[in-house]
Structure 1
Amino acid sequence: MRIFGAILDLVRSIAWMTVGGLRLLLSNLSRPFRTSRYISTTAATRSIRTMGGLSDFLGQTKTDFLRDLQSKNVERWTVVMGNEAGDLDTIACSVAYSYLSSKYHNQPTIALIQTPRTDLYLRPENLYAFSLANLTSQQQELLCIDDIPSSAPPLSQIITKFALVDHNRLLDQFRGGPGKVVGIIDHHADEKQHLDAEIREIVNPVGSCASRVARHFKSVWDASVPPELATFLLSAIYIDTGGLKPDDKAVEIDEQSAAFLTPNSTFNPDNQSLTGDVPPPPPIGNLADELSDRKKDVSHFTTRDLLRRDYKEFVFGGLRTGLSTVPVGLEDCLKRDGAAGFWKALDGYMDDKGLAVLGFLATFKTQGKPKHKHKREILLLLKESAVSADIEKRLFEGMEADPQLQLEPKLETEVADGRHAKVWNQKNTDVSRKYTAPLIRRLIEGGDAPAGEQQPEADE
């Protein structure tokens, strides 16, 4: 089932990119041909100012890293990663950390994007930001997790230095080997891991992790940094803070970082000539709306696409648990696929991922009256053969009793065919997956877990 699911996802990805990617392809046709001025990562440690634009740097760094990986000669490399949800903040921070650490710390650093290349299309807002950052239309310069050759040794066995942005705990698939976390820049709850990291900056609340990355490198940032890198970080800050609105999570550091980045970005007319003949970006005042409109455009996605789009996986008490944050309501999904198709999609996704528990965490705004009211819904689906009756009872009852979530049964949504599932309206719309995941862990394991945060997630 896993193989079939992967093939199905690949076919859908190719179909989407053929049509949906055309706009981005056309927007890049005016890109002039450029020879890379970035000679090699080894040369960069001797003469870092020879680096060209952001796209050139990423492409050459990817080539160098994959060559060294195949020859098992990666001791000099630091691999920087964001979280597996793959939102704009996590990718922009990874790319920025890679470039700036290579440039200013003389440390060859590669950004590893944990989203498979076949899934990049699931976040149209990211594709738009990639175009603003002057990346190629197919983003071939990015190193995605599925770009790692199957013939290469597992990264957990060969990489000695990791850096983390937009999360602060190294994922299990990268543990168990010689790897040490040497840097962390994050804005989530501190999981108290990797306490000996050389760089350990975990500050919350902050609207966007990109603000923290910009703050970290501000003192050494100079005019040789490509303006499109500042644009990339600004895009993450603007989408995460609703255009720097205080009621959309913006705090002082977000405002300060945006004020620093803006004159160094392509939004500054003085810098636009440095990016060749690429069309100028939209007015910065429209940036948040441009990104948000693309993020909301999920009408062409299937239920399976929506589950994959913003997905995080955990193991709680030996039970593999997947939590998908979905930007549409359950009724919308049921109308798209029909009840039978919707439940079949959930079953298939659980089988492909080997899940015992699947959480469908809907966060959306209503279109009727009252207009644009924020709503949340939770669906929990359990695999009967994997989850004991005691855990099922503790999980469902504990969710309903939790004072933060304020759940009420969503009676109008019928659970089909005797599945072990519950569906709720979530009255407290300020509580997100950051809180729900530790709660589910505590209920499954029957003990205490680190308290979750009660602020909305940046990728929502």
Structure 2
Amino acid sequence: MKSLRLLPSALLASLSAASPAQIVLDASSGKAAPTRTEDIGVGHFSEWSRATKKQFLVDWQAGKQSEWVFVMGNEAGDLDSMTSALTWAYHLEHSTQNTSNPSKAIALLQTQTDALDLRPENKLALKNSKMTSGHDDLLTMDELPEDPETLAMKLRGIVLVDHASPLRKWERAKILSIFDHHVDKDTAPDASPRVFEKVASCTSLVARQMFDEFYALPEEYHLPHELLELILSAISIDSGGLEQATQTDIDTAKRVFERSQWADKDLYEQMEAVDEVLSDAKKDLDDLSVRDLLRRDWKGDLVDTPSPRTPTVSLGFASIPYSLDEQIEKTGFGELFHWFAVHAAWTASINTDIDICLTKYKIRDENGKKKKIREIVLTVRDDVRIDKVQADALFKAVKRALESDKSLGLKKWHRVDELAPRQMVWEHQSGAGRKIIRPIVEDAVRKWDMKQGKVIE
């Protein structure tokens, strides 16, 4: 049993249940809506974040977008991505504030404000960092005052963290720097810093660079302990309390740890305890609806095809830690048709042509041992960019690509005979998640000739 006694009282206190949101009747819709009862964040980090957001919106109103750098992670918005963006934005601004070329930098979380709390570990970590409840001190996608495709061309530039290449909507922006711990996609070769390294947490790469530059400054700027402990939280949950850490993760954690409020603790014991608390929070998803599970960990973008008629399609991937059967039970009717109805409403709202849901769960085998099972749910719509004929053929192409990959070992789902056209569900035990499945699907789309209805060899 891992001990929680090493955690500071603030972290333990944050685990207590929050008081229920006050509910009022929204006169415009007749529906109940939560009131705005957030607590304003305290401490330098929250004050900086709130002031930065306000200044960006003021500058946008004044047409000064070109003065700003957006630091953005991936659209799944996990703790690593969010922390990396906040850390580098804070560093960019503070490290240049006494120079002749100061930076205005802000972290953009590429998710909706109301989706931030769909990751309980994020909510807990932000609360422990004394940020404003309701996330009014964070900039999210639904708060951008201008369409990203237009805004991208006006910005000073963007920095990618935990993300190897920008989403299509940001591709016209100048990429200033990249930090990622995945595969280098050769994006923006002239970006600087441009850091790709296999580590447990991208936050380790960002924090390492921050400290390298921080100690080289003629005068140190203030590093708030709330930011330092947020950094340690991200590294901890991604590395299993440093048990699965690389040497880079460990070395960076040590540098951050010695300046944090936890400095008088044992590094490994403290990181293990933090990981336990955050990991427990991460699993607390039972109250989420099917729609919330679909959008909680979703990544997607436009993918090019060889067809002049339909040069791009929208492709999305959701990762859900529940079996499809468990999700069906969460629907109002508890029926298969209702899960696909909820799924269809969600994908329609985000204009997705092809959606892949990746589920994972555990069962006990005949010997009582737990084994991991994964499922792949494939659907293709015909009401966004492609018509029925194209959708039928594209569904077949993606289905064939997945079934042809023998390493996946796909087996048909036990209720496959009940599925509608352009719906398919498999189960497998290969361990392949989004990082494996996504390239297979994207490659099938890129090679598929929309006009001829066939795959280009």
User: What TM-score, normalized by structure 1, do the two folds share?
Assistant: 0.78
Residue aligned with 2:179, SS: strand
Q: Which residue of 2 aligns with 1:434?
A: 435
**What is the alpha-carbon distance in structure 1 between the residues aligned to residue 287 and residue 246 of structure 2?**
34
1:439 to partner: Cα distance:
0.8
Q: Which residue of 2 aligns with 1:58?
A: 49
Q: Which residue of 2 aligns with 1:444?
A: 445
The correspondence for 1:110, drawn from 106, 112, 130, is 106
Residue aligned with 1:322, SS: strand
Residue aligned with 1:264, SS: coil
Q: Which residue of 2 aligns with 1:349?
A: 346
1:254 to partner: Cα distance:
1.3
The correspondence for 1:419, drawn from 418, 421, 430, is 421
Mapping of residues 1-20 of structure 1, within 5 Å: none
1:392 to partner: Cα distance:
2.6
Between the two proteins, the alignment pairs up a number of residues equal to 390
Structure 1 residues 108, 388: closer, same or farther in 2, change over 3 A?
Answer: closer
1:373 to partner: Cα distance:
3.2
The correspondence for 2:188, drawn from 191, 194, 203, is 194
Letter in 1 for 2:196: I
**What is the alpha-carbon distance in structure 1 between the residues aligned to residue 236 and residue 273 of structure 2?**
10
Residue aligned with 1:418, SS: coil
**Contact 2:240/2:272, CA 8 A, preserved across alignment:** no
Q: Which residue of 1 aligns with 2:381?
A: 383
Root-mean-square deviation (Å)? 2.8
1:202 to partner: Cα distance:
1.4
The correspondence for 2:87, drawn from 96, 111, 115, is 96
Q: Which residue of 1 aligns with 2:9?
A: none
1:165 to partner: Cα distance:
0.5
Letter in 1 for 2:429: K
Deviations 1:77-130 (A, max 9, x none): 211111111111000000000111111134221111111112112111100010
Which is higher, the Rg of structure 1 or of structure 2? Answer: 2
Deviations 1:370-409 (A, max 9, x none): 4653332111112252644443323212201213322222
Letter in 2 for 1:421: Q
1:256 to partner: Cα distance:
1.5
**Contact 2:381/2:391, CA 8 A, preserved across alignment:** no
Mapping of residues 55-204 of structure 1, within 5 Å: 55-106=46-97, 107-149=103-145, 154-176=150-172, 179-203=173-197
Mapping of residues 383-402 of structure 1, within 5 Å: 383=381, 385=388, 387-402=390-405
**What is the alpha-carbon distance in structure 2 between the residues aligned to residue 167 and residue 152 of structure 1?**
17
Structure 1 residues 257, 413: closer, same or farther in 2, change over 3 A?
Answer: farther
Q: Which residue of 1 aligns with 2:297?
A: 310
Percent of counterpart pairs with the same letter?
A: 29
Q: Which residue of 1 aligns with 2:360?
A: 363
1:139 to partner: Cα distance:
2.2
Q: Would you say 1:407 and 2:410 are equivalent positions?
A: yes
Q: Which residue of 2 aligns with 1:456?
A: none
Q: Which residue of 1 aligns with 2:225?
A: 227
Q: Would you say 1:215 and 2:174 are equivalent positions?
A: no
**What is the alpha-carbon distance in structure 2 between the residues aligned to residue 296 and residue 159 of structure 1?**
38
Q: Which residue of 1 aligns with 2:284?
A: 297
**Contact 1:267/1:284, CA 8 A, preserved across alignment:** no
Structure 1 residues 69, 366: closer, same or farther in 2, change over 3 A?
Answer: farther
Structure 1 residues 343, 198: closer, same or farther in 2, change over 3 A?
Answer: same
**What is the alpha-carbon distance in structure 2 between the residues aligned to residue 93 and residue 162 of structure 1?**
14
**Contact 1:380/1:421, CA 8 A, preserved across alignment:** yes
**What is the alpha-carbon distance in structure 1 between the residues aligned to residue 155 and residue 139 of structure 2?**
15
Unaligned runs of 5+ residues in structure 2 are 1-28, 98-102, 306-311, 383-387, 449-457
**What is the alpha-carbon distance in structure 2 between the residues aligned to residue 71 and residue 145 of structure 1?**
20
Structure 1 residues 209, 408: closer, same or farther in 2, change over 3 A?
Answer: same
